[in-house]
Chain A
Amino acid sequence: MTTVAAPSAGTALDRVDGPEKVTGRARYAYENVPADLAYAVVVQATVSRGEVRAVDADSVLQLPGMIATIWHENAPRLAPVEDAELTVLQSPRVAYRGQVVAVVVAETLESATEAARLLRVDYRPEPHDVELRPDHPGMYRPDHVNPNYATDSELGDPDTALAFASVVVDATYTTPAQHHNPIEPHATVALWDADGLTLYDATQSTSGVRATIAPLFALPPESVRVISPYVGGGFGGKGAPHAQVVLAALAAKQVGRPVKLAATRRQMFAVTGYRTPTVQRVRLGADEDGKLSAIVHEAFEQTATIKEFAEQTTVVTRMMYAAPHRRTSHRLVRLDVPVPTWMRAPGETPGMFALESAMDELAVACGIDPVELRVRNEPTIDPERGLPFSSRNLVACLRGGAERFGWAGRDPEPGVRRRGRQLIGTGVASSTYPVYRMPSQASARAEPGGGFTVRIAAADIGTGARTVLTQIAADALRVPPAQVRMEVGDSALPRASVAGGSSGTASWGTAVLRACEGLMDALHRRAGDVPPGGLEASADTAEELRSQRPLSRHAYGAQFAEVGVDLDTGEVRVLRLLGAFAAGRIINPKTARSQLIGGMTMGLSMALLEESVMDLEFGDYLNRDLAQYHVAACADVRDVDAFWIEEEDPDLNPMGSKGIGEIGIVGTAAAIANAVYHATGIRVRDLPIRLDRLIGGGI
């Protein structure tokens, strides 16, 4: 027990669950097979607003293997909860096209799918309203924006400052709806027995699903167990429970057998959330040297009629650059559309596309290098909260990135560099992401036979949480990581916060560390003797988090892109993408690099490919599969690299880490759009940067 090992944190430990994943042994939600299993398939509304008049269950009754058709008239009653996305099959109302109006349960997936296809549903349709327009009469001011930020902010007198500014940028940017498309579709296996309800679920939060689902079925939380050891990606889409988990539980209850239910890829476009589209107006006022006097950032977004999700698009502008006069706002309209949700860096991702594009426009207008412009507007304290920064190394990222990228001597003239049939350009944008930490619990146990087991209900959705927590625990226990068995992904383990807000390592790591420290103390008191029953300690970080002093805590980064734009076709290729990040202490360089590069690649994908197109006539997203909703494939990516600046920040958490799961996507699209401008002279303010936007722009 007294082994002293070299610290594991900071080393590139291989992913501890790698072998399970490369051999196909890792079991994901849909792959659990309790005895007597039945298959459920959902039926989606084919009208975008109205009422279900009747479901002709008889129309499929005679199909082989049919077990049940469940719809609002025969579905088990759910307790009323605030989240109407979850109170499925309780009323005839249809709030958007694609909403689930029935579930068919059968002996095989094929029979259930066939029945779902044939089921006759009769609707009373109503005219729908699905078009996001900033001048929509239904635009309103939400009470707050996600997760709990003020809707608007104002300092000084931005209108007057803009009127007197020597240089003004006033531009409107748009970002389309985007769908997460984790490679694993949302899936649940639900099982009722004497103990209550067990859910094998693809989720970013087993504790969260338990807390949300229990009241719907009027169960105490202890009667619901959510098991989710492996999750095939989430990106926010599996952050909060969606309809599928409730439907699986409800169907299993109705038929009295375990039920499996997965959304198909096509169904995911309506039932598992998406990033709201935005329209953003940015106004910047500056003097001739590019020093900002005013920043105004206004966002217009959509949400569903049944649930409000207010993306915090302009919140990032409140802390990014110094300016005495400033205003930010959010306006929302409720449309007959599916429910938007968190998607990788909600707020920062669309918001920084607009702000960082506008900063590039300002650099051009002032004739100042865009790296230099950002450096000149670096604040000394958080401009709106008035708080000191715990650490802020944006300038180091900009300078360090510029040096590695070979930015020096860049000719700012747009549209003048040719290589063969391509126009070449380079662009830069800043990145940032807040440091969140949420209360969690953990336990650590010395096993009588040697070794340790550390438990926390955290979710490893591919981030590497299991690996990084193993390292944190190993260091606290002063043993090599191989002596630590990390258990995650089960609501029966000590309660953990959601894998969201890039907060996992900070939140769970603190709990794991404290539990291990507690165990070390206990062992110390026993002179290292482990009793026959083992020795356990646990921790709850709620108190520790409450005593954290107020500071402005964020990770920063700078992204550099080089693009080639085909002169004839307008095709954009990102030739190089380099990210420089300052995100506290990096605990595992191997998993961290992959997270950052993965985020940047999703940003590249957002810049050039991703767009969910609303069909105004039928009222739903038109391109509902991976053939039509493009995500970057291997051949779309050339050279993406990330590095980080060592950062010591004692005011974060005991590990000194900042989150890295989301910052990689923030600013990427702006860096690419800015590079496209530099290459072509065409400023694309609407994502994605499609060929027609360049050809149409007169390339």
Chain B
Amino acid sequence: MRVNISVNGESMAADDVWEGESLLYVLRERLGLPGAKNACEQGECGSCTVYLDGTPVCACLVAAGQAEGREVITVEGLASGGELDEVQRSFVEAGAVQCGFCTPGLIVQAHSLIESTPGVPADAEIREALAGNLCRCTGYEKILDAVRLAAVRKHQP
């Protein structure tokens, strides 16, 4: 089947998509967008998190066909005009990135948390919101710093 998706503001189409294919597979293997990572393919790690119509989802759990006609934003679509998004910048500055494999998913998830929370979220809220995004490298402390930093920058510029 053919699947039409708006990805990062651009209309894209993938042909010969098998019904069982995931959105993650279509993004990574067919549309040339490997930003969202494949680390478990069964919804356990959050590395594949993307926005689907504004809601963060595990792209590995979304069938490609379910994304037909909808809007997807991946980590590649967060920076605009060569400028890093606040969350991306904060991740770099706070030292929240190590190997970087969990990072794209975490950034989308953190971006969503910050967008949907007025003010700076409490630590417990951040930990809960990011509990589905595993990171094996950092021990999460710097990720919390990054989220706080980004929230402060966004809400109290």
Chain A interfacial positions (CB closer than 8 Å to B):
12, 14-15, 17-28, 30-31, 33, 108-110, 180-185, 230-233, 235, 262, 264-265, 461-464, 590-591, 593-595, 597-602, 625-627, 631, 633-635, 637, 640-641
Contacts and interface: CB of A to CB of B under 8 A. Distances in A.
Contact of A24 (B76, B92, B95): B76
Interface stretch (B41-49, B51-59, B114-122): B41-49
Contact of B40 (A17, A18, A461, A626): A626
Residue in A24, A235, A593, A633 whose Cβ sees the most chain B Cβ within 10 Å: A24
A647 to B, nearest CB: 22
Interface of B: 18, 20-21, 25, 28-29, 32-42, 44-45, 47, 74-76, 78-79, 84, 88-89, 91-93, 95-104, 107, 126-128, 130-144
B74 to A, nearest CB: 7
A231 B98 CA distance: 10
Contacts of B97: 15, 18, 21-22
Given A233-B101, A235-B136, A597-B142, A22 B88 contact: yes
Nearest to B89: A22
Residue in B75, B92, B107 whose Cβ sees the most chain A Cβ within 10 Å: B92
Nearest to B20: A110
Nearest to B74: A24
Nearest to A182: B136
Interface of A is mostly: loop
Contacts of B33: 24
A232 B99 contact: yes
A642 B29 CA distance: 40
Contacts of B126: 634
B58 to A, nearest CB: 12
B107 A182 contact: no
Contacts of A25: 35, 76
Given A21-B100, A634-B143, A183 B131 contact: no
Contacts of A22: 75, 84, 88-89, 91-92, 97, 100, 103-104, 107
B142 to A, nearest CB: 5
A15 B92 contact: yes
Nearest to A260: B29
B28 A265 contact: no
B131 A23 contact: no
A363 B101 CA distance: 43
A462 B95 CA distance: 11
B77 to A, nearest CB: 9
B91 A637 contact: no
A30 B93 CA distance: 27
A264 B40 CA distance: 7
A18 B141 CA distance: 17
B141 A232 contact: no
B136 A18 contact: no
A232 B101 contact: yes
A641 B141 contact: yes
A348 B96 CA distance: 27
B134 A633 contact: yes
B136 A637 contact: no
B102 A183 contact: yes
Nearest to A107: B16
A606 to B, nearest CB: 12
Given A231-B99, A232-B99, A19 B84 contact: yes
A633 to B, nearest CB: 5
A595 to B, nearest CB: 8
A642 to B, nearest CB: 9
27 contacts: A14-B95, A15-B92, A19-B84, A22-B97, A23-B84, A25-B35, A31-B34, A110-B20, A183-B37, A183-B45, A183-B99, A183-B134, A183-B136, A230-B99, A231-B99, A232-B39, A233-B99, A265-B45, A598-B137, A601-B140, A602-B139, A627-B44, A633-B133, A634-B133, A634-B144, A635-B130, A635-B131
Nearest to B101: A232
B100 A23 contact: no
A633 B138 CA distance: 11
A235 B96 CA distance: 18
A464 B130 CA distance: 23
Contacts of B20: 110
A479 B76 CA distance: 33
A26 B39 CA distance: 16
Given A184-B39, A591-B95, A594-B139, 9 more contacts: A19-B88, A23-B84, A183-B47, A184-B99, A265-B44, A462-B101, A593-B142, A634-B135, A637-B139
A70 to B, nearest CB: 22
Given A110-B18, A594-B142, A23 B45 contact: no
Given A23-B88, A110-B18, A593-B142, A631 B134 contact: yes
A526 to B, nearest CB: 37
Contacts of B35: 23-25
